[in-house]
Amino acid sequence: MRHQPETQTPPAPPPPSPSPSPSEDAEDRVSASLQPLKPANFRHEQARHLLWRAGFGGSQAQVMTLVEWGLEKSVEHIVGYDNVEFESPAADLFDKDIMHPPSEEERKMYQSARRAGNEELLAQARLERERRERLDRSQMAEVQKWWLRRMIETPRPLEEKLTIFWHGHFATSFRTIENSYHMYLQNQLLRRHASGNFGELLLAIIRDPAMIAYLDNNDSRKGRPNENLARELMELFSLGVGNYSEDDIKEGARALTGYTFVDDAFVFQKQNHDNGVKNILGKSGGFDGDGFVRIILEKRACAAFIARKLYSFFVADVPLTAKDADLEPAQRAVLRRLAATLTSGRYELKPFLKKLFLSEHFYEPRFINQQVKSPIQLVVGAIRSLNTPERDLSILNDALDRMGQRIFFPPSVKGWDGGRSWINTSTYFVRQNIMAFLIAAKMPRGYDALANEQPFDPLDLLEPQDKHRTTVVDAVLRITLGHAPVHAKETLESFLAASDGDVNKANVTALFLLATAMPEYQLC
């Protein structure tokens, strides 16, 4: 189906009036509000929620600091992370030459070897390639560890959280491209644009070597365009299914011809580019890839799609395929307004994020502690909020893999499904057991390496008034879950009573082990 060309002017943002359309009932009026939360309502629970959703959780002290700062300053600090000092990743942190293609000289040598049937030389070349591939796989593991450590240590958690978001959005896997340095470059690109401008990010991603290789655009040339990138650009990266036609894909692919890379840099090969007139999404002209992206950005569907993805990531799952009409009125209204925020702000992300994190809607009780933690969220969040040792980044990465989130290896171009798909009977035990590893250095089976057995004393997490047999259970549950469900309190209290009731290291460690093995601990 062809879409009608839309008007050139972006739709005006809705009036900043608190009065909603009359069709929404009183309850929806409250929950649909993107008006800021009243300062007085920003308390411990809300500050904790903000820390978990806009980052990876935090210690009790960090929660208290945000409460003290108040809503506005907290959001300003979190979103305006550019003002917080933290080193940028250096370009030469990793070796860029491992997977460089053979030189002209080498190529010629192998060509003549092939012609002459010199099996010895060909076997040597093959061995050399395999040696490089092995080296590159080890470097990929190093990049994984480097990113995981950065997430654990960063004073700018939203930056890494958004980088993960974009990694899932523009999913590219090392498994396919087999070039660790290109994965690293893409990671830097996503971080650089993480809270910048979505339009610029979209323009940058079609020039990214890892993406070009992943979606086969390096072979796309005039006369035989490869449609892979054009398709995913619209289906998964910007518009969503149903907002473009198969013809738009074919024409868009022509616009992207000649977009390739040499070594580590984007190259536009004019001789391979199709200069002809293309008809894309109702516009016609001699577009190149950038022109194609600009046409996409003018579509309302693009802002709506990105708003929905960000909302699902930060607030609550909204199926990407669900029709607007099937959403509850409150969410529909919020999503509409968020999309309008993106449009009127010309895809600037910071105003969008600020509006969201300040809003009453974001802090609605039905959203708090109701998001399934991603594996990253679980592991990084535990270390940051409980201050456990990180122990062994290789084991942590391995656990992430077993839990279904191997960074730099998303399962497909669709990225990670997230939400409930993280949880099944197998991953459930891995999730509990990695907590036992972090808290009590309980080694997962199958590891011979010496893990870091650095002691962890959970008594350090407790305030003096918490170190009492009548208050300790409550404190442990509040630190781990943010609330103290009655049944859990009863269970833990009778456990404590059966263990002499002493508030000592062994007993408090046991309480933390039990609390983090609860189904509720998988939520934030």
Contact residues toward another protein (CB under 8 A) are 114, 119-120, 122-124, 126-127, 130, 133, 175-176, 178, 321, 369-372, 401-402, 404, 411-414, 419-421, 423-426, 428-429, 432-433, 435-437, 440, 442, 444-446, 487-488, 491-492, 494-495, 498-499, 506, 510, 513-514, 517-520, 522-523
Angle in degrees, CA 300, 362, 16, rounded to 5: 55
Q: What is the largest CA-CA distance in the chain?
A: 84
- Contact in structure between 400 and 407 (CB atoms under 8 Å): yes
Query: Minimum Å distance from CB 56 to another protein?
Result: 19
**Judged by CB, which is closer to another protein: 149, or 489?**
489
**Judged by CB, which is closer to another protein: 107, or 126?**
126
Q: Which residues of 338-369 are buried (b: 16+ CB within 10 A; e: fewer)?
A: bbbbbbbbebbbeebbbbbbbbbbbbbeebbb
Query: Minimum Å distance from CB 368 to another protein?
Result: 11
**Judged by CB, which is closer to another protein: 21, or 499?**
499
**Judged by CB, which is closer to another protein: 69, or 495?**
495
* Region class of 203: left (phi > 0), else alpha (psi between -120 and 50), else beta: alpha
362 CA to centre of own chain: 19
Rounded CA gap, 65 and 84, in Å?
A: 16
| Cα within 13 Å of Cα(424), Cβ side | 6
**Judged by CB, which is closer to another protein: 203, or 423?**
423
**Judged by CB, which is closer to another protein: 66, or 524?**
524
**Judged by CB, which is closer to another protein: 38, or 129?**
129
Taking Cα atoms as reference points, which of 93, 91, 85 lies closest to residue 153?
85
Query: Minimum Å distance from CB 445 to another protein?
Result: 5
DSSP letter string, 403-444: TT--TT--SSTT----GGGG--HHHHHHHHHHHHHHHH--PP
| Residue labelled with tokens 């390096």 | 218
Rounded CA gap, 231 and 249, in Å?
A: 5
**Judged by CB, which is closer to another protein: 123, or 277?**
123
**Judged by CB, which is closer to another protein: 273, or 402?**
402
Query: Minimum Å distance from CB 242 to another protein?
Result: 11
Query: Minimum Å distance from CB 514 to another protein?
Result: 6
**Judged by CB, which is closer to another protein: 24, or 317?**
317
Query: Minimum Å distance from CB 516 to another protein?
Result: 9
**Judged by CB, which is closer to another protein: 203, or 441?**
441
Rounded CA gap, 504 and 494, in Å?
A: 16
Query: Minimum Å distance from CB 459 to another protein?
Result: 17
**Judged by CB, which is closer to another protein: 93, or 497?**
497
DSSP class of residue 196 equals S
DSSP letter string, 321-386: TS-GGGS-HHHHHHHHHHHHHHHHTTTBHHHHHHHHHHBTGGG-TTTTT-SBPPHHHHHHHHHHHH
131 contacts: CB under 8 Å, gap ≥ 6: none
Query: Minimum Å distance from CB 110 to another protein?
Result: 12
- Burial (CB < 10 A; 0-12, 13-18, 19+), residue 39, is exposed
- Contact in structure between 193 and 200 (CB atoms under 8 Å): yes
Taking Cα atoms as reference points, which of 183, 188, 180, 92 lies closest to residue 138?
180
Query: Minimum Å distance from CB 256 to another protein?
Result: 19
Query: Minimum Å distance from CB 346 to another protein?
Result: 32
For the chain, the straight-line distance linking the first and the last C-alpha, in angstroms and rounded, comes to 41
Query: Minimum Å distance from CB 515 to another protein?
Result: 9
Kindly state the tokens that stand for 82: 């550019």
Query: Minimum Å distance from CB 342 to another protein?
Result: 27
Kindly state the tokens that stand for 112: 């003549």
Query: Minimum Å distance from CB 432 to another protein?
Result: 5
**Judged by CB, which is closer to another protein: 250, or 442?**
442
DSSP class of residue 81 equals G
